[in-house]
Amino acid sequence: MARASVTNVPDDHHILRYASPVRLRRDAANNVIGVLAAAFQLRPGEAYLSAGWLDMYGGNRDERLRQAAAAYDASPLHIKPNGAFAVGQVSAIKTAGERFKQKFRIVHEPSKGLGSYVAVRQYRDDEAELLALLADDAWAECVTVAACKA
Amino acid sequence: MTAPAVASLPLRRQFQTVIGETPPDLIRNSPQTSSAGNLTAEKVRVSAKPGVARSQRNWVFVGNDDMERQLANQLVALKVLTSQVAMHLTNEWRQGFFSQLDFLMSPDNWEEVDPIPGIASFNTALRLVIHMGHIKRPGLGFTPEGHIILAWTAGDDRLTIECFPGDDVRWVVSHTVQGEREASAGKAKAARVPALLAPYGPEKWLALQ
């Protein structure tokens, strides 16, 4: 059986990571104002951080977000309507990692029913400051699932 | 022996009496086999009112049932726990806090792969809030391990505190200094947090309007 190709995602492209409703930064009135660092924690047993390749899709930014959300919906990776996507540029995410002596490999690994599936490999989530920098700077753009579909 | 009236005790003793030290007297998590013998249940013992007699206390069982039921049961337990420290919170603060929990712990917003939030982490969060005095209500979240997160935001300046069981917290301050994003973090006991945050001017996050 032919093995799916694995390629590096270009540095100037953007990737997105789904954040569930409980991992979004909210104000006291529950309005979404970003993502929490916990959105970049690995689940027990996970070896890498999963994401999606936003710029694999065509069209303008809104169209790409809409296609990405539709692709997640159709995949086994369930997304909640009140969840959101964190969007970041590959180069900025790698730079954040390098500040903590982590050299991420951000690779396109189409699988799990998601053609845009991306793995952030050589990733460790044991430094709270790195996760905060991802959430608040390098991977901080937050677009709600509802807004993607609008 | 009749329990002392909690409100008449010094503040620190109120913590010990209402929320408990380690292990707490009134609240305990313990794996237990149900009477049916085929379910492992987490038994959460909570008091209807601070200081009520042992025989009058309520019991909330959280079993290996479906997720919705577990969430609903735990939500009740967390609210009861919060109500036990109601004397430290304004009614508006508490009601807002409950609304936030209702939203996050609804089946529509909870991922099935996430563990149900534990009482012990929540216990630490309440103790932290009491230690910090009258503060602005935080945004809430949960980690993949089920720990509660308290988050305050003032423009680009962010304070996030993850609450672990046993009164331990991890705080993270994230802000921009001379055009570059910086983050500082530390782990401490909840009681130490006000002193540790002092250099960062926490009023911008915590002060009531």
Q: Which helix (H) or strand (E) holds B181?
A: strand B180-189
Evaluate whether B27 touches B44 at the Cβ level (below 8 Å): yes
What percentage of chain A reaches a pLDDT higher than 90?
Answer: 86
Q: Residue A23 pLDDT > 50, yes or no? A: yes
Nearest CB among B96, B103, B183 relative to A129 is that of B183
What's the N-to-C CA distance of chain B in angstroms?
44
Three-state SS at B71: helix
CA–CA gap between residue A133 and residue B156 (Å, rounded): 12
| Structure-block tokens of residue B108 | 């529509």
The pLDDT of residue B65 is 60
Distance CA A125, CA A94 (A): 14
Residue B123: predicted pLDDT: 96
Q: Which of A21, A33, A137 sits opposite B181 (nearest CB)?
A: A137
Taking residues A54-78, what's their average pLDDT?
94
Q: Helix B67-83 to helix B119-131 angle, to the nearest 10 degrees?
A: 30
pLDDT at B39: 28
- Tell me the chain B residues in contact with residue A21 when contact means C-beta distances shorter than 8 Å: 103-104, 109-110
Which token pair is A30?
A: 């529950």
Determine the pLDDT at residue B15: 41
The pLDDT value recorded for residue B19 is 44
Over residues A122-134, the mean pLDDT reads 97
| Per-residue pLDDT, A68 | 96
Q: Which residue of B has its CA nearest to A33?
A: B153
- Supply the pLDDT for residue B2: 42
Residue A21 has pLDDT above 90, yes or no: yes
Contact status of A146 with chain B (Cβ, < 8 Å): no
What does the alpha-carbon distance between residue B104 and residue B75 come to, in Å, rounded to a whole number? 10
Please report the pLDDT score of residue A5 as a whole number: 73
d(CA A37, CA A125): 10
Residues in chain B where the model's pLDDT stays below 50: 1-64
- pLDDT for res A3: 56
State whether B139 and A132 contact (CB < 8 Å): no
**Looking at A2-11, A81-90, B13-22, B183-192, which range is the least confident one?**
B13-22
Mean pLDDT (whole number) for A69-82: 92
What pLDDT score was predicted for residue A112? 66
DSSP H stretches of helix in A1-150: 61-74, 90-98, 128-133, 145-149
Pairing of strands B58-62, A141-144: unpaired
Give the pLDDT confidence score for residue A78 in this predicted structure: 81
Structural tokens at position B5 = 């009236």
Q: Which residue has the higher pLDDT, A146 or B45?
A: A146
